[in-house]
């Protein structure tokens, strides 16, 4: 089986890929900094360590190639259910024929209240328009099946994941020559304010919720105290008066 990660990794060495990589690292460095737990996974793009700023002690790069710490398919992860505190899926869904299965597997291994970070190419952007023009070829990343932001939010909601935050980047046109990209640098500064949904790449922070979960608290009080707590208020007042007269 061919690994699309390898071709995508090659694209990230291009000038435009480096332009995007700088922005992705800035986002993930800030996003993972304040997420805690014991186990963190990055699935895909293992040549870029997006967990480098994480404080979680055990961090694993999962890939179906030779560059990851764990060799595995993203649709069948060799991790126990509810064992992962943080999971990162960078540009994985749009290049897989089974994006739903990848998300189901992510939901399976995440603990309750576990964090899921996803990056993807936005089809409703200048990058998406260019992808439609280039899709007849086999060039990365334009050959990918870009997933609409709102559709991905719906998929996550069906899996019981709430959206805790999101943002976008790369509002400038995807020129191959970086000097041309820099000429449109003003679009990066104005994008979040004037064209919030038009970034070429989106980031989603989702949290796995377990609805109906009941927290079991320790029994701090003994049986006698629990019985007293259930007495009617009038009976408690009467006992107090009787003790005052004795």
The tens-digit pLDDT sequence of the chain (246 residues) is: 446 667 898 999 999 999 999 999 999 999 999 999 999 999 999 889 999 999 999 999 998 876 778 999 999 999 999 999 999 999 999 999 999 999 999 999 999 999 999 999 999 999 999 998 876 667 899 999 999 999 999 999 999 999 999 999 999 999 988 888 888 888 877 777 777 789 999 999 999 998 765 545 455 444 554 445 445 544 544 554 555 545
Phi, psi of 110 (to 5 degrees): -75, 140
236 occurs within a structural domain: no
Which residue matches tokens 């090659």?
10
Residue 245 counted as domain residue: no
Task: Tell if the pTM clears 0.85, that is, is over it.
Answer: no
**What is residue 2's predicted lDDT score, i.e. its pLDDT?**
46
Q: Domain range holding 178?
A: 4-221
Residue 21 φ then ψ, to 5°: -60, -40
Quote the pLDDT of residue 226: 46
Q: Is residue 119 in a domain?
A: yes
- Beta-sheet strand order (sheet of 161-169): 70-71, 58-63, 39-43, 84-90, 110-121, 201-208, 161-169
**Per-residue three-class SS string for the chain:** CCCHHHHHHHHCCCHHHHHHHHHHHHHHHHHHCCCCCCEEEEECCCCCCCCCCCCCCEEEEEECCCCCCEECECCECCCCCCCEEEEEEECCHHHCCCHHHHHHHHHHHEEEEEEEEEEEECCCCHHHHHHHHHCCCCCCCCCCCCCCHHHHHHHHHHCCEEEEEEEEECCCCCCCCHHHHHHCHHHHHHHHHHCCCCCCEEEEEEEECCCCCCCCCCCCCCHHHHHHHCCCHHHHHHHHHHHHHC
pLDDT of residue 146: 96
Domains in the chain, number:
1
pLDDT at residue number 68 = 74
Q: Which two tokens stand for residue 19?
A: 């332009």
pLDDT, residue 121, reads 97
Residue 175 covered by a domain = yes
Report strand pairing: 58-63 vs 39-43.
Answer: parallel
239 in any annotated domain: no
Confidence (pLDDT) at 227? 46
Assigned domain for 177 exists: yes
pLDDT for the residue numbered 228: 52
Q: What's residue 239's pLDDT?
A: 52
Question: What's the confidence (pLDDT) of residue 184?
Answer: 85
| 217 inside domain | yes
Position 136 scores a pLDDT of 60
- CATH code of the domain in which 117 resides: 3.40.50.150
Question: Considering the domain boundaries, does residue 228 fall inside one?
Answer: no
Give me the residue label for tokens 């208020």.
233
Q: What is the pLDDT of residue 176?
A: 85
């Amino acid at each position: 089986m061919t690994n699309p990660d390898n071709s995508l990794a090659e694209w990230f060495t291009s000038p435009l890929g480096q332009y995007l990589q700088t922005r992705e690292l800035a986002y993930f460095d800030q996003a993972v900094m304040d997420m805690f737990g014991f186990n963190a996974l990055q699935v895909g793009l293992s040549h870029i360590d997006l967990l480098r700023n994480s404080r979680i002690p055990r961090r694993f790069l999962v890939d179906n190639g030779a560059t990851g710490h764990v060799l595995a398919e993203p649709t069948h992860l060799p991790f126990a259910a509810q064992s992962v505190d943080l999971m990162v899926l960078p540009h994985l869904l749009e290049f897989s024929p089974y994006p739903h299965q990848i998300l189901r597997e992510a939901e399976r291994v995440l603990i309750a209240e576990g964090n899921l970070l996803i990056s993807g190419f936005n089809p409703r952007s200048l990058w998406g328009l260019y992808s439609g023009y280039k899709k007849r070829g086999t060039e990365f990343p334009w050959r990918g099946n870009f997933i609409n932001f709102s559709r991905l939010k719906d998929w996550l909601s069906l899996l019981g994941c709430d959206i805790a935050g999101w943002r976008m980047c790369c509002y400038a046109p995807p020129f191959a020559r970086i000097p041309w990209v820099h000429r449109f640098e003003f679009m990066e500064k104005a994008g979040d304010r004037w064209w919030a949904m038009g970034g070429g790449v989106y980031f989603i922070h989702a949290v796995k919720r377990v609805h109906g979960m009941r927290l079991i608290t320790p029994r701090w009080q003994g049986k006698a105290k629990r019985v007293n707590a259930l007495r009617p208020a009038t009976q408690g007042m009467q006992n107090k008066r009787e003790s005052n007269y004795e």
